[in-house]
A and B are shown apart, each in its own frame.
Chain A
Amino acid sequence: MNLILLSPWDLSLAALLILALAWLSWRLRLGMERRLLIAAARSAVQLSLVGLVLKVLFEQTQPLFIASMALVMLSVAGWEVMQRQRRRFSGPWGYGIGALSMFLSAFSVTLFALTIVIGVEPWYQPQYLIPLLGMLLGNTMNGIALALDQLSRQAWESRARIEARLLSGARWSEAIGEIRREALRSGLIPIINAMASAGVVSLPGMMTGQILAGSPPLEAAKYQLLIMFLIAAGTGFGALNAVWLGSRRLFDERERLRLDRLSGPRQ
Chain B
Amino acid sequence: MAELRLDALQHPLLGVITLSIAPGERVFLSGPSGAGKSLLLRAIADLDPHRGEVWLGDEARSRMSAHRWRRRLGLLPAEPAWWADRVGEHLPPASEAAPLGLENMLARLGFEPEALDWTVARLSTGERQRLALVRLLAQAPEALLLDEPTANLDPRNRAQVEALIEDYRAARHCPLLWVSHDAEQRARLGGRRFVINAERLEPEEP
| Chain A residues with a Cβ under 8 A of chain B | 158, 160-172, 178, 252, 254-258
Contacts and interface: CB of A to CB of B under 8 A. Distances in A.
Interface residues of B, number: 23
Nearest to A164: B81
Given A161-B82, A163-B81, A164-B77, A169 B48 contact: no
Interface in B61-90: 65-68, 70-72, 75, 77, 79-83, 90
B105 interface: no
Contact of A171 (B67, B135, B139): B67
Given A168-B90, A169-B139, A163 B47 contact: yes
Most chain A CB within a 10 A radius of its CB, from B68, B83, B92, B139: B83
Contacts of B81: 160-161, 163-164
Interface string B161-183: 00000000000000000000000
9 contacts: A160-B81, A161-B83, A162-B83, A164-B83, A169-B71, A169-B72, A256-B66, A257-B47, A258-B49
Q: Would you list the 10 A-B pairs with minimal beta carbon distance, nearest first? A: A169-B71, A160-B81, A164-B81, A255-B66, A161-B83, A254-B66, A161-B81, A171-B67, A167-B75, A254-B46
Contacts of B80: 164
A169 B83 contact: no
Contacts of A257: 47
B172 to A, nearest CB: 17
Contacts of A255: 65-67
Contacts of A160: 77, 79, 81
B49 A252 contact: yes
A178 B65 CA distance: 22
Contacts of B106: none
Given A161-B82, A161-B83, A166 B67 contact: yes
B82 A169 contact: no
Contact of B67 (A169, A178, A252, A258): A169
Nearest to B90: A168
B67 A256 contact: no
Interface in B38-70: 45-49, 65-68, 70
Contacts of A165: 83
B77 A168 contact: no
Nearest to B72: A169
Nearest to A159: B81
B139 A168 contact: yes
Contacts of B90: 168
A258 B47 CA distance: 9
Contact of B47 (A161, A168, A169, A256): A256
A256 B139 CA distance: 20
Contacts of A162: 83
Contacts of B82: 161, 164
Nearest to B67: A171
A241 B91 CA distance: 32
Contacts of A169: 67-68, 70-72, 92, 139
A256 B83 contact: no
B83 A167 contact: no
- Output the residue of A162, A172, A256, A258 with the most chain B CB within 10 A: A256
Contact of A167 (B45, B48, B49, B79): B45
Contacts of A171: 67
Contacts of B48: 256
A254 B65 CA distance: 7
A172 B90 CA distance: 16
A89 to B, nearest CB: 17
A21 to B, nearest CB: 49
A255 B48 CA distance: 10
B161 to A, nearest CB: 19
A255 B47 CA distance: 8
Nearest to A172: B67
B151 to A, nearest CB: 16
Contact of A168 (B46, B71, B79): B71
A162 to B, nearest CB: 8
Contacts of B83: 158, 161-162, 164-165, 178
